[in-house]
Chains A and B, each alone.
Chain A
Amino acid sequence: MNTQLLTEVSAFLWQEADMLDHRDYQDWLAQWTADGLYIVPIDPDVASGPADLADRLNYAYDDADMRAKRVARLTSGESVSTQPASRTVRSLSRFRILADDGATVTVRAAQHLREFRKETLRDYTADVTYELVRGADGFRLRGKIVRLVNSTDALHSIGYIL
């Protein structure tokens, strides 16, 4: 097992998780490649990739433009459901390298997120698959698929980025 790679990957993903919990959204946007896709599927089929999910209904299927719009909405103050904003704390663990072809690393992790807003504490548990591209100055995100364990259930609003 390549523990060096595992350390590099987990350091990058923990940083990403910290950015989201602390709403450093501009930093978060900046670490994506231009062709990157952020996807939160409904379909629980773990084998489905971005191409399959393009033809299905998802909770989010964001290219660069939609990611920027999502961030703009969350920070605009125009959306009553994000005023006040949710507070979130997430932990990532159980990292597993699924593939590494030298240029791109595919990694899967477990994410436990707790959210508090107004009077309610909620849990969202997900399997998250990342596609990380190696660059001169470290990794960049090209893909993130967040598979909520309860994706097929009736959910409450999610006013942040999973």
Chain B
Amino acid sequence: MAIDLKASPAASRDLADLVRADRAHTSLYTDPAIFEQEMDRIFASCWVWVAHVSEVKEAGDYKSTYVGRQPVVVVRDRKQKIHVLLNRCRHRAATVCEEKKGRTNSFVCPYHGWSYGLDGSLRGVPHPESYGQCLDKGEYPLKSLRVEEYAGMVFATFREDIEPLADWLGPAKKWMDLFMKQGGGYPIRVAGEHRFRFPGNWKIQLENTTDGYHFPVVHKSFLSSVDEQTERMLDFVNGPGFVEDLGNGHSVMVMIPELVDLEENLDAPIPARFAELAEELRKEGHDEAKVRRIVRAVGGSGFNLNLFPNIACSMAFFRVLRPVSVNETEIHHAVITMDGGPTAANRARLRLHEHFQGPMGFGTPDDSEAWERVQKGAQAGTDLWILLNRGLPGERITEDGRASDVSAETGMRAAYQQWKKLMTA
């Protein structure tokens, strides 16, 4: 087939043509016009993850982040309601918050001093006399997004007319519930994050969360750095795991089926790498049942849950993606700890996160390198396609959607079908 390379595909042809059942067109990575449409039709039109509740635990706690490219502030007010507010003064547009995280009583614009309450309401305007009767403060709160949460995960949307969050998540909800069991009986807490950028399109990262196929290739150096038992556990590509399309672009990749439910199999032997931690917890006086529950939770869940378009519950951390431009993406890997849990267990989780994630981790840099090379390679053969047909022959219908083997590209197909639905709506 011929692709018109002169004009942007977004302008010249039906976007629906760019995603097929088994492939996606290269322009989805490279066309700035498509990226602009994605910001509108995807990031401004569906539920976008903004925070975990632990990041805004107390009244006045806030976090500044983005919905698509739009800066927002996530803040808990005195009535414990979480607001997501556009980070833009209603007067002349300056941001009202520059800190990544903190606690405050109000947001004050640094330019002319307009001040806003935690719910976004405009409280004070310096020297109001000049406005006479022409400024009604009630008309100029910080612009507020619609906010809903599930399992401690907070999502926002610009749209009042889309389905409730719970419907959007659908069968993904039960996987979110399972993921939160890694609190080991404690509430889970986001305790920091690694941030990095790579020169590539956001969908390259989106795909990677349910890409089991790359693991033994890209992460060879990580696998060489763990003990044999762990290496065997992570040798899952020919194993009994699966990838399942959960609808609405969401998908789950189960790499280690015995670690799907962290509150089951508590009698199983404690892995060698956690023997020392278990001993430390016993010495602290925790009973054997609790020791086993905590230790099993420390290693994280045996699956990656990809929630379209920007968040994943990935084994033991949250993976957040933020599209910056058609060829630049920022990624946050937020570490999860047990809020109020044993120090030794939380240290183990921090060290495990540092081992794989971050710019000096043994895993992330290699992922990042592979994604850069995808973006670079996508400049060649701009009429070529990205293949997404792995695992198609083995795909079967399930109660929640469809599934195939653990290294199938079923999750990517799910995401691209959702992309097509939103982009052509």
Contacts and interface: CB of A to CB of B under 8 A. Distances in A.
B333 to A, nearest CB: 9
Nearest to A77: B221
A155 B347 contact: no
Nearest to B332: A154
Contacts of A79: 220-221, 362, 365-366
Given A61-B351, A152-B100, A154-B330, A159 B221 contact: no
Contacts of B346: 55
A60 interface: yes
Interface stretch (A8-16, A68-76, A93-101, A128-136): A68-76
A54 interface: yes
A57 B221 contact: no
Interface stretch (B84-92, B119-127, B194-202, B298-306): B194-202
Contacts of A59: 194, 354, 358-360
B222 to A, nearest CB: 8
A23 to B, nearest CB: 16
A76 B224 CA distance: 9
B196 A154 contact: yes
Nearest to A40: B360
Given A59-B358, A61-B351, A73-B225, A155 B366 contact: no
B30 to A, nearest CB: 18
Interface string B170-208: 000000000000000000000111111110000000000
A157 B368 contact: yes
B192 to A, nearest CB: 3
Given A57-B194, A153-B195, A156-B197, A72 B359 contact: no
Nearest to A56: B192
Nearest to B368: A157
A69 B194 CA distance: 20
Nearest to B334: A57
A78 B363 CA distance: 11
Interface string A126-162: 0000000000000000000000000011111111001
A78 B224 contact: yes
B366 A81 contact: yes
B221 A76 contact: yes
Best-buried of B218, B335, B369, B370 by chain A (most CB within 10 Å): B369
Contacts of B368: 81, 156-157
Interface residues of A, number: 30
A25 B195 CA distance: 27
A66 B351 CA distance: 10
Listed residue (A40, A82, A156) with the most chain B CB atoms within 10 angstroms of its CB: A156
A58 interface: yes
B364 interface: yes
Contacts of A78: 220-221, 224
A157 B343 contact: no
Interface string A32-63: 00000000101000000000001111111100
Contacts of B343: 55
B39 interface: no
A112 B194 CA distance: 22
Contacts of A81: 365-366, 368-369
A80 interface: yes
Interface string B93-119: 000000010000000000000000000
Nearest to B346: A55
A40 B194 CA distance: 12
Contacts of B218: 80
Contacts of B193: 57
Contacts of B370: 80
Interface in B325-362: 330, 335, 343, 346-347, 350-351, 353-355, 358-360, 362
A157 B196 contact: yes
Contacts of A66: 355
A60 B360 contact: yes
A61 B354 contact: yes
B196 A159 contact: no
Nearest to A58: B354
B350 A56 contact: yes
B195 A154 contact: yes
B369 A57 contact: no
A26 B289 CA distance: 43
Contacts of A69: 225, 362
B347 A73 contact: no
8 contacts: A58-B350, A59-B360, A73-B224, A81-B366, A154-B197, A156-B196, A157-B364, A159-B365
Given A55-B346, A73-B222, 11 more contacts: A56-B192, A57-B192, A58-B354, A60-B360, A66-B355, A73-B225, A76-B224, A81-B369, A82-B221, A154-B197, A157-B364
